[in-house]
Amino acid sequence: MIEFTFWDIVRNLLLAARWTVLLSLAAFVGGAVVGLIVLFFRIAENKWSRRIASGYIALFQGTPLLMQLFLMFFGLPMLGLRIEPWTAAVLGLTFFASAYLAEIWRSGVDALPRGQWDAGASLGLHRLQELRLIILPQAFSITRAPIVGFLVQLIKSTALTSIIGFEELVRTSNAINNATFEPFKVYGLVALIFFVMCFPLTQYARTLEQRAAAH
């Protein structure tokens, strides 16, 4: 058995936390890109396009993330793609995030007064210009608090990728726990590291919310 000092444990956990951070960022950026596409479908004038986007969002919000990750992990090889835990993790979380981000932004678009669209149209802008110059900037700005709140949820969700074998914070802590038999200390430290990552964001979301309420 290998002896782990307290600092060995902390160092290894912090090194593993890099992957948690990196995965969260990759999924957030990827989710924003895909989510924007879903948003375009969701607020399109075509009824079928709106229905398909609603179905996509309902699908991801109505099934467990763990199942989505399993389907990604076991499904992509069936399409002939070689898949590793990290690709399944990034792709799975990207699609998961895209559904939530699209839905949050959609609520922002819906919250804008109808007159914003009319004003755009009366200036002679066509639909894409209206979206780019008038609607989306406002929708993004009023949904900042829930977006930060979702980022917290996304960071916590990366823990599930340990189950499909991605070497992030939780998977590393399982390995350390198996070597040291100190679950109280190890999982306590993992919780602390997650807390340090998430709590400032939660506070930031709260500040944004209060600022929005004050307006």
Partner 1 sequence: MAFAWLPGALGDITRGALTTILLIVVTTLVGTLLSILGAAGRRNGPAFLKRAIAVYVEVMRNTPFLVQLFFIFFGLPSLGIRLDPILAAMLAMTLNMAAYTIEIVGAGLDAVPGGQTEAALSLGLRPRQVFIKIVLPQALTVIYPALTSQIVIMMLESAVVSQIAVRELTYEADMLQARTFRSFETYFVVTLVYLLMSMALRRLLVTGGRRVLGAGVS
Q: How far is the CB of 142 from partner 1 (least distance, A)?
A: 20
SS3 186: helix
167 touching partner 1, by CB under 8 A: no
Pick the stretch among 10-18, 100-108, 115-123, 196-204 that binds partner 1 (CB under 8 A): 196-204
Residue matched to tokens 């895909």: 34
Residue 144 CB, nearest approach to partner 1 (Å): 19
Please list every residue from 84 through 143 that binds partner 1, using CB under 8 A: none
Q: Is the CB of residue 187 less than 8 Å from the CB of residue 177?
A: yes
Query: Residues 174-200, buried b or exposed e (16+ Cβ, 10 A)?
Result: bebbeebeeeebbeebbeebbeebeee
CB of 162 to partner 1, least distance (A): 7
Q: Name which of 6 and 74 has its Cβ closer to partner 1.
A: 74
List the one residue from 78, 128, 213, 214 that touches partner 1 (CB under 8 A): 78
Of residues 75 and 137, the one with the C-beta less far from partner 1: 75
Residues 12-71 that bind partner 1 (CB under 8 A): 59, 62-68, 70-71
Nearer Cβ to partner 1, position 97 or 136?
97
What is the rounded CA–CA span in Å between residue 59 and residue 68? Answer: 10
Phi first, then psi, for residue 175 (nearest 5°) are: -65, -45
Q: Is 179 in the site for partner 1 (CB under 8 A)?
A: no
C-beta closer to partner 1: residue 76 or 142: 76
Query: What SS3 string covers 35-101?
Result: HHHHHHHHCCCCHHHHHHHHHHHHHHHCCCHHHHHHHHHHHHHHHCCCCCHHHHHHHHHHHHHHHHH
- Report the interface residues with partner 1, using CB under 8 A: 59, 62-68, 70-71, 74-75, 78, 152, 156-160, 162-163, 170, 173-174, 177, 182-184, 187-188, 190-191, 194-195, 198-199, 202
